[in-house]
Structure 1
Amino acid sequence: MALYTIGEVAMLCDINPVTLRAWQRRYGLLKPQRTEGGHRLFTEADIDRIREIKRWVDTGVQVSKVQTLLNNEPENMRNGWRAQQEVVLQYLQSGNLHRLRLWFKERSQDYPAQTLATHLLIPLRQRLKCEQPALLVLLGVLDGVLINHICCCLNSARKKNGRDALVVGWNIQDTTRLWLEGWMACQQGWRVDVLAHSLSHLRPEMFEGQTLLVWCGESPSALQQKQLLEWQAHGYAIYPLGI
């Protein structure tokens, strides 16, 4: 079993070591192992938990309330999703993309997009986002298969009754998350197209007559939220995603 120092975990999770110590000491969210010298050591499960905590905090949940949210998900359910992540990793590592595409199709029949994104795809992509080139290659392959699958889902949704909309990323870095948001939106009754590149400056007047579903990332700035409300007040059909 691999063990990681607090410095390594801070780098993998893009978080300050001081914050990790506070989550452990003040809030009891983490229980790392210790070396004989008293240094913290974290497992893969600890890293997954840290990323889950970070996702809750990034969406605006107070750290003091995260423990309750974590406890609401049974351990066997968390382990079940972790096992499914491992299945996807095996397909990626073996290069069996045909089976991976079939697997995604089967899971999409069992679970809604929101559930798959929250419990499977976002955590798995976080695991693959690191400095190791081999894992970044796997992330690229996963994203390609995932976007292809989502495109098929969006095309099928266009054959049904619904409201047309354009999914737009506003000042974001992770464009694959934009496709995930579009996938979730199409299951909420929207017939969506996705603007493939993020916009650093959003000008709704350039999309006259279109409904815009805007993804600003996990933590949209106060300025972005204020601007979206102002545009709505001026009559633009523009709605935030993930807020």
Structure 2
Amino acid sequence: MSLYSIGEVARICGINPVTLRAWQRRYGLLKPQRTEGGHRLFDDNDLETIRTILGWINRGVPVSQVKGLLEGSITPHPSGWSQLEQKLLSVLQEEKTQKVRQLIIEFGREYPPESLVNNVLRPLRTRLVSNASTLYLRGLLDGVLIEHAVMCMNAARKKAGTKVLLAGWGEIDRTELWLEAIARSGDGLHIDLLPDPLQDPHFEGVQAKLILLWAEGKLTSVQRTRYLHWQQLGLPVSLLGSAAVLLQTPPDEEPDAIIR
């Protein structure tokens, strides 16, 4: 599992390091590891927690109530995007998978695919991973999402579009590939998706006009070299996921050196 400094987490999640410190010390929302020098280190589970916190705050939940939400002791009052999320969760908890399918289709008609994915589907999946008893429901949801992604990709192919290859690289959350396919289904793309992540990809000779490559965490030195090689060859490879954010950011100049 990858480890991230507070500066890296701030850039990946789009949040100020001061806020992250406050969430930890004032509200007890985070429990990062520490280096021997006392600097905070966050893992992928921490990133999921931070995204969950941001999701609730962006929907108007006071930060003082978030700990209760994380612990399951209080229930959020749904509004806006969270109302759609709550509606999906309610039918999912009743295991009415056909109704879940219908709701996602209905929401897809009313909202842009990218907004639906980022504001409803991804937050709901994050919410369902916070408790072992909900992992079964997350599995049911993932099956529906894969079906919906296939439907979206097939619908897009009925119109003129650009041929795109969508693949994963290394250890990733595989459902993210299908969510990305849904999010991009309104962009005029004909997506060919590789469901199994690649460990040693070779894209020389691939006929796609664009190669979307989803990777999570820090690229290894081998991966970084490979990606730079593709760029030098002029291959149309676009890196997605948290790896893309980390690749574009310099090392943290102030790794929480002042306030610990």
TM-score range normalised by the length of the shorter chain: 0.5 to 0.7
Letter in 1 for 2:106: E
Which of the numbers 49, 60, 70 marks the counterpart of 1:75?
A: 60
Quote how far apart the aligned CAs of 1:79 are: 3.5
Q: How does 1:49-68 map to 2 (within 5 A)?
A: 54-55=50-51
Which of the numbers 204, 208, 212 marks the counterpart of 2:206?
A: 208
TM-score (norm. length: structure 1):
0.67
Equivalent residue, structure 1, for 2:191: 192
Q: How does 1:26-45 map to 2 (within 5 A)?
A: 26-27=21-22, 32=27
Q: How does 1:8-19 map to 2 (within 5 A)?
A: none
- Please give the secondary structure, in 2, of the residue aligned with 1:168: strand
- Please give the secondary structure, in 1, of the residue aligned with 2:82: helix
Quote how far apart the aligned CAs of 1:190 are: 1.6
Quote how far apart the aligned CAs of 1:209 are: 2.3
Letter in 2 for 1:96: K
Letter in 2 for 1:75: G
Q: How does 1:75-224 map to 2 (within 5 A)?
A: 75=60, 79-130=79-130, 132=132, 134-205=133-204, 208-210=206-208, 211-217=210-216, 219-221=217-219, 223=221, 224=223
- Mean CA deviation greater in 79-88 or 186-195: 79-88
1:213, 1:239 within 8 Å by CA — same for their partners in 2?
yes
- Please give the secondary structure, in 1, of the residue aligned with 2:84: helix
1:170, 1:198 within 8 Å by CA — same for their partners in 2?
yes
Aligned pair count?
Answer: 197
1:88-140 Cα distance to aligned partner (Å, 9 max, x none): 111111121222111101101111121112111111111111452x3111000
**Gaps (5+ residues) in structure 2?**
10-16, 31-45, 62-76, 245-260
Letter in 1 for 2:127: R
CA distance in 2, matches of 1:30, 1:153: 44
Quote how far apart the aligned CAs of 1:229 are: 3.6
Letter in 2 for 1:90: S
Equivalent residue, structure 1, for 2:33: none
Letter in 1 for 2:189: W
CA distance in 2, matches of 1:221, 1:175: 17
CA distance in 2, matches of 1:177, 1:83: 22
CA distance in 1, matches of 2:49, 2:135: 23
Structure with higher helix content: 1
Distance of aligned partners of 1:24 and 1:240 in 2 relative to their CA distance in 1, 3 Å threshold: closer
CA distance in 1, matches of 2:103, 2:22: 38
- Aligned sequence identity (%): 30
Distance of aligned partners of 1:228 and 1:24 in 2 relative to their CA distance in 1, 3 Å threshold: closer
Letter in 2 for 1:54: I
- Please give the secondary structure, in 2, of the residue aligned with 1:204: coil
Letter in 1 for 2:154: N
CA RMSD after TM alignment: 3.7
CA distance in 1, matches of 2:143, 2:175: 9
